[in-house]
Chains A and B, each alone.
Chain A
Amino acid sequence: MLKGVSYGKFVAFRVFLLVLFSLPVLIVPASPISPPATVTTPFNLNAQDIQLIQVWRMQDGDDPEWKQPGFDDSRWPAGSPNRLPHAQAGVRWLRAHIELSGAPNPFDVLVLRFSKLPVAYAVFWDGSCVGENGRVGRREEDEIPGQVAFMIKLPRDLTAPGSHLLAIRYSNFHKSLQPRGFWAVLAYHADWLLARAKDMHLQYLWLGIYLTSTFLSLALFLGGGRHRAFLVFALYSFLLTLYLAVNPLIEVFNADISFSTLLFAFRYVVSVGAGILLNIFFIRHFDIPRQRFHIPVVILLPLLIDIFHIRYLLGLEWRDTVLTGYAVGLLVTALKRRKAGSLIALIGLLAVALPALYVQLKVIFRSFPEPDPRLVLLLSLLFIPSVILSISRQIREQNLFYEAARNRSQRLEMELLKSQIHPHFISNTLHSAKSWIRDDPKKAEKLLQTLSDELHLISAISSRPLIPLADEIHLCQYHLEIMGFRRDARFELRTEAVPIHEEIPPLVLHTLIENGLTHAFQPRESGCFWLRCERNAKETVFILENNGSRLQDPAPENSEIQEGLGLRYVKARLEESFPGRWSITHGIDRGLWKVTIRIQRTVP
């Protein structure tokens, strides 16, 4: 009951997490894209800002008048070009009003930097053309695609303090799938290059981390038991390495804008894939229950979110946020189940996830203070080391587990030997033989022969975890014969439809027969055991019955008898060979004492 309550609470916590991380996705579509308060982008010529030009006026169509600062664009819709559909081919205009203030720096020029605006465009500053990326055309034949990234230096005489107009004429006939994530910045050239360099250093740092992580995980996979979780993590790291390698490649090869479509698709696949792989890695690494539910969910979730995105034209980061939130939920599950290394991995993930969530929430709640970028960076650097530490914890745990399993297996072997070569068993048998020597020497000879046969067979099989059923049946028959001599009775084991090549742990049936002899039969009572086997696609069922008279009346002590030492051995052996896939039941059925062992087949 208690367990149920806490589980309920736990589910509620998981739902809370998912809602928390999905919050941005849930809230943003609900609020309509509101026009910003001001349509003018300010820029202080005295500062060293990298100014993002976020607010544009947009209009379909083409008119040379639209490049003029005097044109009244107040009726054009305002916003970010990223929020408008680009699917339709055509010629369009963008206009941004820029207010320069302060004194110009005499040693540097201002630059405009554009990225990912489809497909070709011409840039006008105060009505005059300052640069062209590709060639804008009215038809596909006329259009020449430009580069992904494009920079224009503005002559110093054009950037006097005051109001200025930035107009862009662009066309997108070439590609139906357009690059997303257009941005434009205004900055002094030197400041821009410095910021760019810092950004690049950071990217190379990440590139190195992920590359190392790729090879480390791959080495763990190849060298350490081929756990698929490590392969998944290697793939995750590799995808992120590729993702980070793209930007330098664009710079080096001056990539064409048509190439950017391919790039967009590639980066899309890589980022979605990495998010999914990270979740699958956690699911497998921490052996999260109900994998058949979680794995499809983490694959479908980002795709569903993206369909949602295309509808509502949101930034792509929401998807990553939701996937991260899901991963946090998985790690909380692992922590709850006390999986080794789950706490470290969770701390590492939260160090990345919480700043990311904060940044996302800041888009909605603009009043949130700006996070310290150095802190965010330091926190995010924790992630990969924490996962690697978590992996090493798990490996250690597994080693301990294997060691324990090996010890258990050795102990079972000892128990097996003790139960049969135990002095008690031998001395009783010898005593019986002594008695028979006097009364019937032939029987004594037969008894001693059977005893030595049994001991030979036991020493041959004792070290093996599984033996053919045929050997086990032989052992049982020897034992029954010996006990027959000792008790001056006759016991038989009859088999029916038994797959003699099927393998079972040694002395399991033997132990059950021994129990049966001790508890089910009166002294000197003869009887019979029957072994049947039923096999179907799902499981193999062994049914062992005996017709002993003592267990026929369901006296209370009988249940307790069955939980004796012998049954513990049987259960331990079954668990060793068929972990979690077996069951054993016993009871009276149609006047016979019946033990049923079910062993589920493994999924091939």
Chain B
Amino acid sequence: MRLLIVEDEYSIARDIEYHCRQILGDRIASLRNIQTLDAARDCLARHSIDLLLLDLNLAGANGFELLKLANSGSFHTIIISGHVDRALEAFEYGALDFLPKPFEPSRLRKAFDRYFGLPGMDGQAVKYLTGRKRDQFFVVSVADVLYFQASYDYTEAVLKTGKREVLEKSLRRLGQILPSRFFRIHRSYLVDIQQIASFTPVRHGSSRVCLKSGEILPLSRGRHKHLRRILGI
């Protein structure tokens, strides 16, 4: 697991690093501790990471932009901040978790659990997804998405308007932060179940999901039973 800590105050950065090492131990493949946002940008351009622990002064004018930058990456972001009142916004813009300062080690452990796909915090889910086109950020509202489709290392969000937007996060990582109504019907598809009009029973090893918009998507055999249970059929 490759970690990057961005925290401008060295004493606090050291504390975060200490606790990360305590909790994750051998699972850490690399851990970088960086003090400025400029250096963090450089580092992210050159190295790929799995988890960013970001101290964000959300009260500043550009705090919001930094939040978008962090959340447009393929990695997950945990925000660590003294601005507790801005936590909801952090979640809405796609943070995996939000830790108020000073945090308890057990709270950090919970955040890591969430990262590994274990049940963590409930109730908070991303409302907006951020992507990047030629260094320009764009924001996709989760409410506008019909389904997500895996495309190589990236994910395409297919919107109700028919438009497709490319996001850097993998389908698996999106699944961790999206609201629970998004259901994995297939290795490559994550669908908003409220948009499902009907689905066909399994025949010759394959099945189809028909969306309200008229689109037809594949439904894998393993997910069929699951979907029936969720929809209560």
Q: Which residues of A contact B (CB under 8 A)?
A: 423-428, 430-432, 434-436, 438-439, 485-489, 522-524, 564
A-B interface, 7 closest residue pairs, ranked by CB to CB distance from nearest = A523-B35, A431-B102, A435-B15, A424-B82, A427-B82, A488-B10, A432-B11
In the bound complex, do residue B11 and residue A436 qualify as a contact, i.e. CB atoms below 8 Å apart?
yes
Q: Which of A426, A428, A486 has the most CB of B within 10 A?
A: A428
Closest A residue, CB atoms, query B55: A428
Q: How far is the CB of A356 from chain B (nearest CB, A)?
A: 61
Q: CB within 8 A of A488: which of B11, B81, B100, B102?
A: B11
Does any Cβ of A come within 8 Å of B36's Cβ?
Answer: yes
Does any Cβ of A come within 8 Å of B14's Cβ?
Answer: yes
Within B171-218, the residues touching A (CB, 8 Å) are: none
In the bound complex, do residue B84 and residue A487 qualify as a contact, i.e. CB atoms below 8 Å apart?
no
Q: CB within 8 A of B84: which of A423, A435, A436, A488?
A: A423
Cβ–Cβ < 8 Å partners of A522 in chain B:
35-36
Cβ–Cβ < 8 Å partners of A427 in chain B:
82, 84, 100-102
In the bound complex, do residue A424 and residue B102 qualify as a contact, i.e. CB atoms below 8 Å apart?
no
CA distance A523 to B15 in the complex (A): 16
CA distance A436 to B102 in the complex (A): 13
Cβ–Cβ < 8 Å partners of B84 in chain A:
423, 427
Q: How far is the CB of A560 from chain B (nearest CB, A)?
A: 9
Contacts A427-B100, A486-B11, A487-B11 known; list 18 others, CB within 8 Å: A423-B83, A424-B59, A425-B82, A428-B82, A430-B102, A431-B101, A431-B103, A432-B15, A434-B15, A434-B102, A435-B14, A435-B15, A438-B18, A486-B9, A487-B10, A488-B11, A522-B36, A523-B8
In the bound complex, do residue A439 and residue B9 qualify as a contact, i.e. CB atoms below 8 Å apart?
no
Please list 27 pairs of residues, one from A and one from B, whose beta carbons are closer than 8 Å in the complex, sorted by A's number. A424-B83, A425-B82, A426-B82, A427-B82, A427-B101, A428-B9, A428-B12, A431-B12, A431-B82, A431-B101, A431-B103, A432-B9, A432-B11, A432-B12, A434-B15, A436-B11, A438-B15, A438-B18, A439-B14, A485-B11, A486-B10, A487-B8, A487-B9, A488-B10, A488-B14, A523-B10, A523-B36
Cβ–Cβ < 8 Å partners of B102 in chain A:
427, 430-431, 434
Cβ–Cβ < 8 Å partners of B57 in chain A:
424
In the bound complex, do residue A435 and residue B11 qualify as a contact, i.e. CB atoms below 8 Å apart?
yes
Cβ–Cβ < 8 Å partners of B9 in chain A:
428, 432, 486-487, 523
In the bound complex, do residue B8 and residue A431 qualify as a contact, i.e. CB atoms below 8 Å apart?
no
In the bound complex, do residue A524 and residue B10 qualify as a contact, i.e. CB atoms below 8 Å apart?
yes
Q: CB within 8 A of B15: which of A425, A431, A489, A564?
A: A431
Cβ–Cβ < 8 Å partners of B10 in chain A:
486-489, 523-524
Cβ–Cβ < 8 Å partners of B14 in chain A:
435, 439, 488
CA distance A426 to B100 in the complex (A): 12
Cβ–Cβ < 8 Å partners of B36 in chain A:
522-523
In the bound complex, do residue A435 and residue B12 qualify as a contact, i.e. CB atoms below 8 Å apart?
yes
Closest B residue, CB atoms, query A434: B102
Cβ–Cβ < 8 Å partners of A524 in chain B:
10, 35
CA distance A368 to B170 in the complex (A): 96
CA distance A432 to B12 in the complex (A): 5
Cβ–Cβ < 8 Å partners of B18 in chain A:
435, 438
Cβ–Cβ < 8 Å partners of A436 in chain B:
11
Cβ–Cβ < 8 Å partners of A426 in chain B:
82
Q: How far is the CB of A543 from chain B (nearest CB, A)?
A: 27
CA distance A431 to B83 in the complex (A): 13
1/0 per residue, CB under 8 A from A, across B27-67: the answer is: 00000000110000000000000000000010101000000
In the bound complex, do residue B59 and residue A486 qualify as a contact, i.e. CB atoms below 8 Å apart?
no
Cβ–Cβ < 8 Å partners of B8 in chain A:
487, 523
Q: How far is the CB of A24 from chain B (nearest CB, A)?
A: 64
Q: How far is the CB of B57 from chain A (nearest CB, A)?
A: 8
CA distance A430 to B12 in the complex (A): 9
Q: How far is the CB of B229 from chain A (nearest CB, A)?
A: 44
Cβ–Cβ < 8 Å partners of A488 in chain B:
10-11, 14
CA distance A439 to B57 in the complex (A): 25
CA distance A44 to B59 in the complex (A): 93
Cβ–Cβ < 8 Å partners of A485 in chain B:
11
Cβ–Cβ < 8 Å partners of B100 in chain A:
427
CA distance A487 to B57 in the complex (A): 15
Q: CB within 8 A of B12: which of A424, A425, A438, A486?
A: A486
CA distance A431 to B102 in the complex (A): 4
CA distance A214 to B61 in the complex (A): 58
CA distance A431 to B7 in the complex (A): 12
Cβ–Cβ < 8 Å partners of A487 in chain B:
8-11
Cβ–Cβ < 8 Å partners of A425 in chain B:
82
CA distance A487 to B102 in the complex (A): 15
CA distance A487 to B11 in the complex (A): 6
CA distance A434 to B108 in the complex (A): 15
CA distance A358 to B187 in the complex (A): 98
Using A438-B18, A487-B10, A523-B10 as known contacts, say yes or no to A428 and B101 having CB atoms under 8 A apart: yes
Closest B residue, CB atoms, query A426: B82
Cβ–Cβ < 8 Å partners of B101 in chain A:
427-428, 430-431
Q: How far is the CB of B53 from chain A (nearest CB, A)?
A: 13
Q: How far is the CB of B11 from chain A (nearest CB, A)?
A: 4
CA distance A428 to B12 in the complex (A): 8
Q: Which of B11, B14, B35, B103 has the most CB of A within 10 A?
A: B11
Q: Which of A430, A432, A438, A488 has the most CB of B within 10 A?
A: A432
Closest B residue, CB atoms, query A524: B10
Q: How far is the CB of B111 from chain A (nearest CB, A)?
A: 16
CA distance A425 to B82 in the complex (A): 7
Cβ–Cβ < 8 Å partners of A428 in chain B:
9, 12, 82, 101
Q: How far is the CB of A32 from chain B (nearest CB, A)?
A: 77
Q: Which of B9, B14, B15, B82 has the most CB of A within 10 A?
A: B9
